Amino acid sequence: MSNSYFSDLEAFKVNLDDNGVAEICLKRDRALNTMNNAFWSELPKIIGNIDKLGTVRAVILSSSGKHFTAGMDLEILKSINIDKAIETASQAEKTRRLIIELQQIFTQLESIRMPVISAIQGACIGGGVDMVCATDMRYCTSDAFFTIKETALGMTADLGTLQRIQRLIPSGLARELAYTSRRMNAQEALSSGFVNQVYDSQEQMLEAVRSIAKTIAAQSPMAVHGTKEMLNYSRDHSVADSLNFMATWQAGMLHSTEVYEAMQAAAQKRDPIFDDLHP
Protein backbone atom coordinates (compact mmCIF):
# COMPACT_ATOMS: atom_id res chain seq x y z
CA MET A 1 0.00 0.00 0.00
CA SER A 2 1.21 3.48 -0.82
CA ASN A 3 1.47 6.37 1.64
CA SER A 4 1.32 8.89 -1.23
CA TYR A 5 -2.29 9.71 -0.33
CA PHE A 6 -1.12 11.02 3.03
CA SER A 7 1.88 13.25 2.35
CA ASP A 8 2.31 16.91 3.31
CA LEU A 9 0.17 16.69 6.44
CA GLU A 10 0.54 19.31 9.17
CA ALA A 11 -1.49 17.86 12.03
CA PHE A 12 -1.12 14.13 11.36
CA LYS A 13 1.17 11.44 10.11
CA VAL A 14 -0.33 8.29 8.59
CA ASN A 15 1.31 4.88 8.28
CA LEU A 16 -0.08 1.96 6.28
CA ASP A 17 1.50 -1.39 7.11
CA ASP A 18 1.56 -4.60 5.09
CA ASN A 19 -1.11 -6.23 7.30
CA GLY A 20 -3.84 -3.81 6.23
CA VAL A 21 -3.60 -1.62 9.34
CA ALA A 22 -3.57 2.18 9.05
CA GLU A 23 -2.33 4.28 11.96
CA ILE A 24 -3.46 7.91 12.07
CA CYS A 25 -1.22 9.76 14.53
CA LEU A 26 -1.69 13.31 15.78
CA LYS A 27 1.77 14.86 15.59
CA ARG A 28 1.42 18.36 17.10
CA ASP A 29 2.63 17.27 20.53
CA ARG A 30 4.32 20.64 21.22
CA ALA A 31 0.85 22.17 21.00
CA LEU A 32 -0.66 19.31 23.06
CA ASN A 33 -2.19 17.96 19.83
CA THR A 34 -4.91 20.60 19.94
CA MET A 35 -7.44 20.52 17.13
CA ASN A 36 -6.48 23.44 14.89
CA ASN A 37 -7.62 24.32 11.38
CA ALA A 38 -5.20 21.81 9.85
CA PHE A 39 -6.67 19.06 12.06
CA TRP A 40 -10.20 19.75 10.83
CA SER A 41 -9.22 19.98 7.16
CA GLU A 42 -6.93 16.94 7.14
CA LEU A 43 -8.84 14.39 9.23
CA PRO A 44 -11.87 14.01 6.91
CA LYS A 45 -9.57 13.66 3.90
CA ILE A 46 -7.51 10.99 5.66
CA ILE A 47 -10.58 9.01 6.71
CA GLY A 48 -12.17 9.36 3.28
CA ASN A 49 -9.03 8.17 1.49
CA ILE A 50 -8.62 5.19 3.82
CA ASP A 51 -12.22 4.17 3.19
CA LYS A 52 -11.82 4.57 -0.57
CA LEU A 53 -8.60 2.56 -0.72
CA GLY A 54 -10.33 -0.61 0.42
CA THR A 55 -6.96 -2.17 1.25
CA VAL A 56 -7.10 -0.99 4.87
CA ARG A 57 -8.83 -3.42 7.24
CA ALA A 58 -8.40 -1.72 10.62
CA VAL A 59 -7.50 1.79 11.78
CA ILE A 60 -5.62 2.97 14.87
CA LEU A 61 -6.04 6.55 16.08
CA SER A 62 -3.05 7.56 18.22
CA SER A 63 -0.94 10.61 19.05
CA SER A 64 2.65 11.56 19.75
CA GLY A 65 3.91 13.16 22.93
CA LYS A 66 2.79 13.13 26.55
CA HIS A 67 -0.89 13.88 25.90
CA PHE A 68 -3.42 12.50 23.45
CA THR A 69 -5.11 15.87 22.87
CA ALA A 70 -6.03 18.98 24.85
CA GLY A 71 -9.08 19.43 22.62
CA MET A 72 -10.20 22.36 20.51
CA ASP A 73 -7.59 24.92 19.49
CA LEU A 74 -8.34 28.54 20.36
CA GLU A 75 -8.17 29.55 16.70
CA ILE A 76 -11.34 27.52 16.06
CA LEU A 77 -13.16 29.09 19.01
CA LYS A 78 -12.15 32.56 17.82
CA SER A 79 -13.71 31.85 14.42
CA ILE A 80 -17.08 31.43 16.14
CA ASN A 81 -16.94 34.86 17.79
CA ILE A 82 -19.96 37.03 17.07
CA ASP A 83 -19.50 39.38 14.13
CA LYS A 84 -21.60 42.46 14.86
CA ALA A 85 -21.69 43.24 11.15
CA ILE A 86 -23.76 40.08 10.53
CA GLU A 87 -27.47 40.01 11.38
CA THR A 88 -28.20 37.93 14.51
CA ALA A 89 -30.14 35.11 12.84
CA SER A 90 -27.58 34.84 10.04
CA GLN A 91 -24.78 34.68 12.62
CA ALA A 92 -26.58 31.87 14.43
CA GLU A 93 -27.17 29.98 11.18
CA LYS A 94 -23.48 30.32 10.29
CA THR A 95 -22.44 28.94 13.68
CA ARG A 96 -24.91 26.06 13.39
CA ARG A 97 -23.51 25.05 10.01
CA LEU A 98 -19.96 25.09 11.36
CA ILE A 99 -20.89 22.88 14.32
CA ILE A 100 -22.68 20.39 12.05
CA GLU A 101 -19.64 20.30 9.75
CA LEU A 102 -17.34 19.49 12.66
CA GLN A 103 -19.79 16.88 14.03
CA GLN A 104 -19.81 15.11 10.68
CA ILE A 105 -16.02 14.77 10.72
CA PHE A 106 -16.15 12.68 13.90
CA THR A 107 -19.18 10.78 12.61
CA GLN A 108 -16.95 9.62 9.74
CA LEU A 109 -15.06 7.54 12.30
CA GLU A 110 -18.29 5.63 12.91
CA SER A 111 -19.33 5.36 9.28
CA ILE A 112 -15.97 4.28 7.81
CA ARG A 113 -16.14 0.61 6.82
CA MET A 114 -13.20 -0.42 9.00
CA PRO A 115 -13.08 -0.59 12.82
CA VAL A 116 -11.30 2.36 14.43
CA ILE A 117 -9.32 1.84 17.65
CA SER A 118 -8.28 4.74 19.90
CA ALA A 119 -4.93 4.53 21.75
CA ILE A 120 -4.92 7.25 24.40
CA GLN A 121 -2.18 8.51 26.71
CA GLY A 122 -2.21 11.45 29.10
CA ALA A 123 -4.91 14.05 28.67
CA CYS A 124 -7.98 13.51 26.50
CA ILE A 125 -9.96 16.69 26.94
CA GLY A 126 -13.07 18.25 25.40
CA GLY A 127 -13.03 17.57 21.67
CA GLY A 128 -10.77 14.61 22.34
CA VAL A 129 -13.59 12.90 24.24
CA ASP A 130 -15.97 13.76 21.39
CA MET A 131 -13.57 12.06 18.99
CA VAL A 132 -12.80 8.85 20.90
CA CYS A 133 -16.51 8.33 21.69
CA ALA A 134 -17.00 7.93 17.93
CA THR A 135 -14.40 5.15 17.64
CA ASP A 136 -15.16 1.45 17.94
CA MET A 137 -12.83 0.71 20.85
CA ARG A 138 -10.71 2.67 23.31
CA TYR A 139 -7.49 1.67 25.09
CA CYS A 140 -5.39 3.89 27.34
CA THR A 141 -2.31 4.18 29.51
CA SER A 142 -2.40 4.30 33.30
CA ASP A 143 -1.69 8.05 33.29
CA ALA A 144 -4.59 8.82 30.94
CA PHE A 145 -7.55 10.93 32.01
CA PHE A 146 -10.73 12.08 30.30
CA THR A 147 -12.45 15.42 30.83
CA ILE A 148 -15.70 16.71 29.35
CA LYS A 149 -14.42 20.23 29.86
CA GLU A 150 -17.11 22.32 28.24
CA THR A 151 -19.26 23.26 31.26
CA ALA A 152 -16.15 24.69 32.95
CA LEU A 153 -15.77 26.89 29.85
CA GLY A 154 -19.39 28.07 29.91
CA MET A 155 -20.32 25.82 27.00
CA THR A 156 -22.23 22.62 26.24
CA ALA A 157 -20.25 19.82 24.57
CA ASP A 158 -21.44 19.89 20.98
CA LEU A 159 -19.47 17.44 18.82
CA GLY A 160 -20.88 14.09 19.93
CA THR A 161 -19.88 13.27 23.51
CA LEU A 162 -23.33 13.88 24.99
CA GLN A 163 -25.01 11.91 22.21
CA ARG A 164 -22.69 8.87 22.47
CA ILE A 165 -21.26 8.54 25.96
CA GLN A 166 -24.48 7.34 27.65
CA ARG A 167 -24.31 4.35 25.29
CA LEU A 168 -20.76 3.61 26.48
CA ILE A 169 -21.00 4.08 30.26
CA PRO A 170 -23.85 4.31 32.81
CA SER A 171 -26.03 7.37 32.33
CA GLY A 172 -25.53 8.63 35.89
CA LEU A 173 -21.75 8.61 35.53
CA ALA A 174 -21.94 10.21 32.09
CA ARG A 175 -24.09 13.02 33.49
CA GLU A 176 -21.80 13.54 36.47
CA LEU A 177 -18.77 13.87 34.22
CA ALA A 178 -20.58 16.24 31.85
CA TYR A 179 -22.09 18.42 34.57
CA THR A 180 -18.95 18.74 36.72
CA SER A 181 -16.13 18.76 34.14
CA ARG A 182 -14.14 16.58 36.53
CA ARG A 183 -11.46 14.17 35.39
CA MET A 184 -12.15 10.47 34.90
CA ASN A 185 -8.88 8.62 35.40
CA ALA A 186 -7.78 5.46 33.62
CA GLN A 187 -8.96 3.02 36.26
CA GLU A 188 -12.42 4.60 36.45
CA ALA A 189 -12.58 4.57 32.66
CA LEU A 190 -11.76 0.85 32.74
CA SER A 191 -14.19 -0.06 35.51
CA SER A 192 -17.02 1.87 33.82
CA GLY A 193 -16.36 0.18 30.47
CA PHE A 194 -15.29 3.35 28.66
CA VAL A 195 -11.94 1.77 27.78
CA ASN A 196 -11.22 -1.90 27.09
CA GLN A 197 -7.83 -2.10 28.81
CA VAL A 198 -5.22 0.02 30.60
CA TYR A 199 -1.47 -0.31 30.00
CA ASP A 200 1.55 0.86 32.00
CA SER A 201 3.14 2.71 29.11
CA GLN A 202 2.37 4.09 25.67
CA GLU A 203 4.76 1.57 24.14
CA GLN A 204 2.93 -1.37 25.73
CA MET A 205 -0.43 0.09 24.69
CA LEU A 206 0.58 0.59 21.07
CA GLU A 207 2.09 -2.89 20.88
CA ALA A 208 -1.15 -4.40 22.19
CA VAL A 209 -3.42 -2.23 20.04
CA ARG A 210 -1.42 -3.00 16.90
CA SER A 211 -1.75 -6.70 17.67
CA ILE A 212 -5.53 -6.33 18.04
CA ALA A 213 -5.72 -4.40 14.77
CA LYS A 214 -3.63 -7.07 13.03
CA THR A 215 -6.02 -9.77 14.28
CA ILE A 216 -9.00 -7.81 12.98
CA ALA A 217 -7.21 -7.34 9.64
CA ALA A 218 -6.81 -11.13 9.30
CA GLN A 219 -10.60 -11.61 9.30
CA SER A 220 -12.88 -11.22 6.31
CA PRO A 221 -13.05 -7.45 5.61
CA MET A 222 -16.60 -7.80 4.33
CA ALA A 223 -17.68 -9.69 7.45
CA VAL A 224 -16.02 -7.13 9.73
CA HIS A 225 -17.65 -4.30 7.77
CA GLY A 226 -21.03 -6.02 8.09
CA THR A 227 -20.52 -6.54 11.82
CA LYS A 228 -19.71 -2.85 12.35
CA GLU A 229 -22.72 -1.86 10.26
CA MET A 230 -25.02 -4.10 12.31
CA LEU A 231 -23.66 -2.92 15.67
CA ASN A 232 -24.06 0.74 14.71
CA TYR A 233 -27.56 0.19 13.35
CA SER A 234 -28.67 -1.83 16.39
CA ARG A 235 -27.50 0.88 18.76
CA ASP A 236 -30.01 3.34 17.29
CA HIS A 237 -32.92 1.02 16.40
CA SER A 238 -35.23 -1.48 18.05
CA VAL A 239 -34.36 -5.17 18.27
CA ALA A 240 -37.12 -5.97 15.76
CA ASP A 241 -35.89 -3.39 13.24
CA SER A 242 -32.30 -4.51 13.72
CA LEU A 243 -33.13 -8.17 13.18
CA ASN A 244 -35.02 -7.29 10.02
CA PHE A 245 -32.09 -5.25 8.72
CA MET A 246 -29.74 -8.11 9.61
CA ALA A 247 -31.80 -10.60 7.60
CA THR A 248 -31.82 -8.29 4.59
CA TRP A 249 -28.07 -7.71 4.80
CA GLN A 250 -27.31 -11.40 5.28
CA ALA A 251 -29.46 -12.42 2.32
CA GLY A 252 -26.76 -10.92 0.13
CA MET A 253 -23.69 -11.54 2.28
CA LEU A 254 -24.22 -15.31 2.69
CA HIS A 255 -23.57 -15.64 -1.03
CA SER A 256 -20.12 -14.08 -0.63
CA THR A 257 -17.15 -16.11 -1.88
CA GLU A 258 -15.48 -15.30 1.44
CA VAL A 259 -17.84 -17.69 3.26
CA TYR A 260 -16.69 -20.49 0.94
CA GLU A 261 -13.03 -19.49 1.37
CA ALA A 262 -13.33 -19.56 5.19
CA MET A 263 -14.89 -23.05 5.06
CA GLN A 264 -12.26 -24.33 2.62
CA ALA A 265 -9.42 -22.91 4.70
CA ALA A 266 -10.78 -24.57 7.85
CA ALA A 267 -11.07 -27.92 6.05
CA GLN A 268 -7.55 -27.61 4.66
CA LYS A 269 -6.11 -26.40 7.99
CA ARG A 270 -4.68 -23.18 6.52
CA ASP A 271 -5.22 -19.46 6.98
CA PRO A 272 -7.97 -18.06 4.77
CA ILE A 273 -7.13 -15.54 2.07
CA PHE A 274 -9.74 -12.79 1.87
CA ASP A 275 -10.15 -10.12 -0.78
CA ASP A 276 -9.86 -6.46 0.11
CA LEU A 277 -12.95 -4.28 0.14
CA HIS A 278 -13.69 -2.64 -3.19
CA PRO A 279 -12.68 1.03 -3.41
Structural domain spans, the chain: 4-217, 221-267
The pLDDT of residue 1 is: 45
Instruction: For the beta carbon of residue 38, count every other beta carbon within 10 angstroms.
Output: 15
* pLDDT at position 110 over 50: yes
Q: What percent of the chain has pLDDT above 90?
A: 81
CA neighbours within 13 Å on the CB side: how many for 14? 26
* pLDDT at position 189 over 50: yes
Supply the pTM of this predicted model: 0.93
Q: Looking at residues 55-70, what average pLDDT do you find?
A: 97
* pLDDT at position 81 over 70: no
* pLDDT at position 115 over 80: yes
Total length of the chain: 279
Closest CA to 112 of 59, 155, 62: 59
Q: Looking at residues 129-134, what average pLDDT do you find?
A: 98
Asked whether the beta carbons of 40 and 25 are under 8 A apart, the reply is no
DSSP character for 151? G
The pLDDT of residue 256 is: 80
Q: Looking at residues 237-263, what average pLDDT do you find?
A: 91
Q: Is 185 helix (H, G, I), strand (E, B) or coil?
A: strand
Q: Alpha-carbon distance 120 to 61, whole Å?
A: 8
Helix axes 37-53, 88-111, angle to 10 degrees: 40
The pLDDT of residue 62 is: 98
Q: Alpha-carbon distance 48 to 114, whole Å?
A: 11
CATH class label, 4-217? alpha beta
Fold of 221-267: Lyase 2-enoyl-coa Hydratase; Chain  A, domain 2 (1.10.12)
The pLDDT of residue 278 is: 84
Q: Alpha-carbon distance 60 to 115, whole Å?
A: 9
Write the single-letter amino acid at 196.
N
Over the chain, what is the mean pLDDT? 93
pLDDT band at 83 (very low <50, low <70, confident <90, very high): low
Interval 142-188: pLDDT, tens: 999 999 999 999 999 999 999 999 999 999 999 999 999 999 999 99
Q: Looking at residues 247-263, what average pLDDT do you find?
A: 87
Phi first, then psi, for residue 87 (nearest 5°) are -55, 145
The pLDDT of residue 95 is: 86
Strands 116-120 and 137-141: parallel
Q: What angle do CA 260, 264, 267 make, to 5 degrees?
A: 145
